[in-house]
Structure 1
Amino acid sequence: MADKSVEVEVDGYVQGVGFRYSCQDQARRLGVNGWVRNNDDEGTVSAHFEGDADAVGALVDWCRQGPRGSRVTSVSVHPASPKGHTRFSITG
């Protein structure tokens, strides 16, 4: 069972710059499970992270900067119920 679970929305120039793939790499490196996806508004990315509290926190911190080429303007984080994810994937 995950120590911490959150829903995240990242706003800015975060689509078309490899944000989801970089996020997946970071999540796997940190041992965080869940998912990340582009939203239909073409300006935000949503994600669900669950795992060790420190690792989830580190992934949220990474989202505040994102990969090279992105420009993050805001990150909203909300507590969520764990879903029992066993890996991290890109959806949508």
Structure 2
Amino acid sequence: MEYVRVNVSGHVQGVGFRYFTQHTAVEYNITGWVKNEDDGSVLMEAFGDEENLSLFLDVIKKGPSRFAEVQGMDVTTLAGDPQFKSFDIKY
């Protein structure tokens, strides 16, 4: 299992990016959370099987639609098991 913190930059707020992220996480059996940051980026923590997490991050890099544009992803590996029960949108 792998646990990561991801900061996604680009045109990722106001385009359904958090909902896309949540839907994709459920599809790949990833738990964690996602939220908008004040600087216009989106921050998430994600936990799951290493292969599924890699596939999840690949989909996130592409974004949800022609309205979103992911310009960068900063991925940091974290230690431990966060004991997330689901993948939530934080406000």
Structure 1 stretches of 4+ with a deviation exceeding 6 A read none
Deviation (angstroms), 1:62 = 1.4
How many residue pairs get aligned? The number is: 89
Deviation (angstroms), 1:80 = 1.0
Identity of aligned residues (%): 35
Larger mean CA deviation between 55-64 and 17-26 belongs to 55-64
SS at match of 2:22: helix
Larger mean CA deviation between 11-20 and 54-63 belongs to 54-63
- Unpaired runs of 5+ residues, structure 2, are none
Note the alpha carbon deviations across 1:22-47, whole angstroms, 9 max, x for none: 10000001100000000011x20000
Alpha-carbon distance between aligned partners in 2 of 1:61 and 1:49, rounded to the nearest angstrom: 13
- Normalising by structure 1, we get a TM-score of 0.92
On the 8 A contact 1:63/1:75 being kept in 2, the answer is no
- Unpaired runs of 5+ residues, structure 1, are none
SS at match of 2:54: helix
1:20 equivalent among 18, 21, 44: 18
- Normalising by structure 2, we get a TM-score of 0.93
Where does residue 44 of structure 1 map in the other structure?
Answer: 41
Are 2:73 and 1:75 equivalent residues in the alignment?
A: yes
Alpha-carbon distance between aligned partners in 1 of 2:59 and 2:37, rounded to the nearest angstrom: 19
